Amino acid sequence: MSDASDAAPAHDPDPVLPGSALTRSARLRAMLNSAPLEFLMEAHNGLSARIVREAGFRGIWASGLAISAQFGVRDNNEASWTQIVDMLEFMVDASDLPILLDGDTGYGNFNNLRRLVRKLEQRGVAGVCIEDKQFPKTNSFLNGERQPLADIDEFAGKIAAGKDTQRDPNFCIVARVEALIAGWGMEEALRRAEAYRRAGADAILIHSKLARADEIVTFAREWAGRAPLVIVPTRYYSTPTQVFRDAGVSVVIWANHMVRAAICAMQTLAREVHASQTLVNVEDRIAPVGEIFRLQDAAEYTAAEELYLSAASTARSAVVLAAGRGTGLEPLTEVRPKIMLPIAGRPLLRWLLDAFKKEGINEVTVVGGYRAEAIDPAGVRLLLNERHAQTGELVSLACALPGLRTDTLVCYGDLLFRSYVLRDLLETEADFAVVVDSSPPGLHNRTVRDFAVCSHADERELFGRPALLQHVGPEADGGHGRWIGMLYVRRTGLERLKAALAGLRLRADFEQLDMPALLNALVGDGAQVEVRYVHGHWRGVNDLEEFRHAGDFAHGQSTADDVPRPDAGRGDD
């Protein structure tokens, strides 16, 4: 059987509803056999199948006309039957509704139908409707009266072959009678319908091209409920639906209205955009891109990615803290935050993004605050610490924390550095790692709050013994260097980072706390924070003096060899 769940629950209040434990074929069968009038809506691809389901329909007509039209070909079996079946697979995946395929003539003789039935069952299609014409067919509304009908016995044999082939007892074969369309008259139509019923057809589709439902109603009266009746009121569309109910019809097919609606919408839009050469007039009248994502269930993908991909992921992200105005650069930060200061012709942020990209950090979150509107959002996720004027760095970090899933660099927004500084940091395998500059603190020309006390000093010639951070603070005594404003957190350390931040939140002064407080909390909590020593090769941009030198440094960065010279100190400019 085609669906995984075959058994009907003992008491199903509505066996036709999608999502019920019934298979799709069982639901289609129930629609055909139930007393109330049911409706199938046309769909022609995965997207339209999803839209039909969301509108509340309980079943889908996979129209031959509409599917060939969306391929841009004629309804003359120009699309191959396997192309149709491939499309059905998308439709089955996009919607849990039962699908009745408009299978034309079965794409050949009894043997072609047998293979079709097998393939449809395998793909979860609930049933097929075949019409008593000859392959290759043409649409019934195109010179319908000129079209030759199938031999009645040959067609009955085809139905029997299909019924004998199906494995799922609920798979439905609907026999479509074209005698009225072809002008053979009511008697022939009834004769054929009866022959097809006897051959095993689960329902009869009686087709008419008249603008009134008269011959359908007459047929239904004469037929007298010998098998479920299906109709396609494309031409007699103005007939009140109650007429079909009163006639005892089982299922009405709205056969081509989704593709016609799409054609109309696309023509209007294309003409208008072509004429006006702008999108501004149409944007609000069409589905937002987000609606496409919703219909594609993009959110499920994102969730699955987190579940299955993050463990093996080499993805890296960065959080850039750029909310504060800082002091020392007031004349330059009237209209923009520090991260947008031009350094050698480009905003500081662009230098950072370049450096990140080189190391495969593609997901960058910038937490802005002061003059955040001046931050160029291209290529970054921009978050806002609205209370930046009253709060410290940890409040900004907390804005970005919920979105973090991968290895993450937390970095100040006013940093320039040689690329090896970041590369070496990312090579550490510890959950937490920081960059500490071991060049003499005396060279720093401002009050520094982030001296680093480490387990041991920089042993520049003795590689292999990573130092661990012990404390960061303003006290130079005993310090082994200066933390430059970069913290790398492995994915495996994120929970601990979040816990440390949550712990700090309990402090009354949390809103004023900066990154050193977090580093100290991590260390205090027993986390090993590995130290990567550098000796210069980076710049902060904290005052006019530093700003003036930053341009030269950045220039050197883009042209210089990135390998550090062993004796190069902070004064490498």
Measured distance CA(544)–CA(359) in Å, rounded: 30
DSSP character for 145? G
Q: Scanning the structure block, which residue is given the tokens 């079946």?
A: 85
**Binding partner of residue 140 among ligand SPV, Mg ion, none, CB under 5 to 8 Å per kind?**
ligand SPV
Determine if 64 is a binding residue for Mg ion (CB under 5 A). yes
**Binding partner of residue 256 among ligand SPV, Mg ion, none, CB under 5 to 8 Å per kind?**
ligand SPV
Report how far apart the first and last C-alpha atoms of the chain are (Å, whole number).
75
Nearer of residues 128 and 355 to Mg ion, judged by Cβ: 128
Judged by CB under 5 A, the stretch of 15-23, 43-51, 61-69, 374-382 that binds Mg ion is 61-69
- Residue 183's region, left for phi above 0, alpha for psi from -120 to 50, else beta, is left
Helix, strand or coil for residue 53?
Answer: helix
Instruction: Determine the length of the chain.
Output: 573
Half-sphere exposure of 2 (CA within 13 A, CB side): 28
* Smallest distance, Mg ion to C-beta of residue 253, A: 10
Determine if 102 is a binding residue for Mg ion (CB under 5 A). yes
**Binding partner of residue 234 among ligand SPV, Mg ion, none, CB under 5 to 8 Å per kind?**
ligand SPV
> From the DSSP assignment, how many helices (H) and strands (E) are in the chain?
18, 21
Nearer of residues 101 and 521 to ligand SPV, judged by Cβ: 101
**461 in Cβ contact with 562 (< 8 Å):** no
**Binding partner of residue 250 among Mg ion, ligand SPV, none, CB under 5 to 8 Å per kind?**
none
Q: Where are the beta strands (DSSP E) in 78-126?
A: 99-102
Q: Scanning the structure block, which residue is given the tokens 């007509």?
A: 61
Nearer of residues 58 and 133 to Mg ion, judged by Cβ: 133
Binding site for ligand SPV (CB under 6 A): 63-65, 102, 139-140, 232, 234, 255-256
* Smallest distance, ligand SPV to C-beta of residue 243, A: 18
Nearer of residues 175 and 453 to ligand SPV, judged by Cβ: 175
**Binding partner of residue 232 among Mg ion, ligand SPV, none, CB under 5 to 8 Å per kind?**
ligand SPV
* Smallest distance, Mg ion to C-beta of residue 134, A: 14
**DSSP string across 327-383:** SS-GGG-SSS-GGG-EETTEEHHHHHHHHHHHTTEEEEEEEEBTBGGGS--TTSEEE
**Binding partner of residue 166 among ligand SPV, Mg ion, none, CB under 5 to 8 Å per kind?**
none
Measured distance CA(531)–CA(523) in Å, rounded: 12
* Smallest distance, Mg ion to C-beta of residue 65, A: 5
**Binding partner of residue 530 among ligand SPV, Mg ion, none, CB under 5 to 8 Å per kind?**
none
At what angle are helices 46-55 and 257-276 packed, to 10 degrees?
110
* Catalytic hit among 3, 75, 414, 450: 75
* Cβ count near 8 (within 10 Å): 16
Applying the rule CB under 5 A, the residues between 167 and 226 that interact with Mg ion are: none
* Smallest distance, Mg ion to C-beta of residue 155, A: 16
Nearer of residues 50 and 207 to Mg ion, judged by Cβ: 207
Half-sphere exposure of 532 (CA within 13 A, CB side): 22
- Number of residues engaging Mg ion in binding (CB under 5 A): 3
Nearer of residues 65 and 339 to ligand SPV, judged by Cβ: 65
* Smallest distance, ligand SPV to C-beta of residue 165, A: 22
552 is annotated as an active-site residue: no
* Smallest distance, ligand SPV to C-beta of residue 231, A: 10
Per-residue HEC secondary structure of 526-557 comes to CCCEEEEEECCCEEECCCHHHHHHHHHHHHHH
Residues making contact with Mg ion (CB under 5 A): 64-65, 102
Q: Which residues are catalytic?
A: 75
